[in-house]
Every structure is written in structure tokens, then in C-alpha cells.
Homo-oligomer: A and B are copies of this chain.
């Protein structure tokens, strides 16, 4: 029986229930206005039970953010750069990862909102966690861009700035689409298309362009 197949223990299920309730409460009221009493009431357990599973409200928040970041990083890191040897393949790989990420975030809409609204405002230690993840992500993308350049797929430029811009585009589009629903009419496919087009056009080398 593999770890993934193993039936969840009672403990696991209760912890998960508390986390899900916490996400709802944090989403509805914001971290600071959220009360532990609201969380436990939703699950139907006593106040003290909460502290059997988490050290406190803040530690739970950290765990949620950490889970979320891991999910995002895992998703983004799922591409396969080895195979990419043409701009067409690059584009289709970007589309695959983009749609995957979109689906994951849509499945975790409330947590996505919590992350963008509050992850930097709860406690300094979580800022570091978030910063660390951004650093990792940006470094990964920077490297990726450099590799693509060496393969002659994208133009010469400051790859770190390119990575930063890319992350920014994606983030804001996600926020507007998933968190605030101000792009309500747009299908994920259309959004991903625009992101990819922007990225592809912005990285077109003149050589390629002239060909």
C-alpha cells in the first residue's frame, strides 16, 4: 500500500477539516478578524481540540501558506525543459503549464485570494517564507530563460528582469480573473493565450524575426 493510497487516519481527516474551515474563515473575514472559535464551530469540535492540531492561529496560517506555495511551485516546476527545442514546442509547453496552473488555482480560489491579500501582512516570518519562494521561482525562471537563449530560442536580454515581468503578468492576471473576477467573461484559454503571446513576442530574437 503506497503512502498516497493509505487511507487517511481520523487524525488526518480532522486536521484537514480544520484547515478547510480555516481557509473559509480567513477568506471571509481576513486573518486578523478571524477567530479560532469560528473555525472550530464550523468543524464542530471544542476550542481545545484546535490546539491538538496546531500550535495556534498564526502557525496554522503559516501552514496554509506553505501548503499553497508548495502546490504552486510543484505545478510550475512540472514542465519539461529538456524537450524544448523550438519556439513551437516552447509555446505548447507554456500552454500546458499555464492551463495546469490555472486549474490548480481555480480549485483553490479562496486560498489564492488569502495568499495575495494577506500572506505578507500577518507576521515577518511568513514574509520570509514568501520571499524565499519568490526567489526560488524567479531564479528558476531566470535559469530557464537563459537556457532557452542558449538554445537560440529567445533573444538576449536581462533574464532576471524578464522572469520578474513574467511572474508579474501571471500574478495580476490570476488576481483579476480568479480572485476578483474582473475578467469574468474571459475563458482561461483566452487568458493563457494572451500571456503566451505577450511572452513569445517579447522574447522574439531579431534573427528569428527575420527568418
How many of chain A's residues have a CB under 8 angstroms from any CB in B?
A: 47
Q: Are A120 and B131 in contact (CB under 8 A)?
A: no
| Residues of chain B with a CB closer than 8 A to A176's CB | 138, 164
Cα(A127)–Cα(B202), bound, Å: 33
A190 CB-CB contact with B under 8 Å: yes
CB distance from A52 to the nearest CB of B (A): 12
Chain B residues contacting A131 (CB-CB under 8 Å) are 180
Cα distance, A169 to B173, chains bound together (Å): 10
Tell me whether A164 and B173 are in contact (CB under 8 A).
yes
Which B residues are CB-close (under 8 A) to A158?
A: 186, 190, 194
| A182 adjacent to chain B (CB < 8 Å) | yes
A84 adjacent to chain B (CB < 8 Å): no
* Contact B201 A165, beta carbon cutoff 8 Å: no
Residues of B within 8 A of A190 (CB): 158, 161
Q: Does A204 lie at the interface of the complex (its beta carbon under 8 Å from any beta carbon of B)?
A: yes
Write out, one digit per residue, whether chain A residues 93-122 have a CB within 8 A of any chain B CB (1) or not (0).
000000000000000000000001110111
Number of copies of this kind of chain in the complex: 4
CB under 8 Å from chain B, chain A span 146-176: 157-158, 160-162, 164-165, 167-173, 176
Q: Point out which of A168, A176, A183, A195 has the most chain B C-beta atoms below 10 A from its C-beta.
A: A168
- B168 and A172 within 8 A (CB): yes
Residues of B within 8 A of A118 (CB): 120-121
Interface members, chain A 109-143 (any B CB < 8 Å): 116-118, 120-124, 127, 131, 134-135, 138
A161-B32 in contact given A116-B120, A173-B168, A204-B201 (Cβ < 8 Å): no
| A144 CB-CB contact with B under 8 Å | no
> From A197, which residue of chain B is reached at the shortest CB distance?
B202
The listed residue (B168, B194, B204, B209) touching A157 by CB distance below 8 A is B194
Residue in B closest to A121 when the chains form the complex, CB atoms? B121
Q: How far is the CA of A211 from the CA of B38 in the complex (A)?
A: 63
A56 within 8 Å of B by Cβ? Answer: no
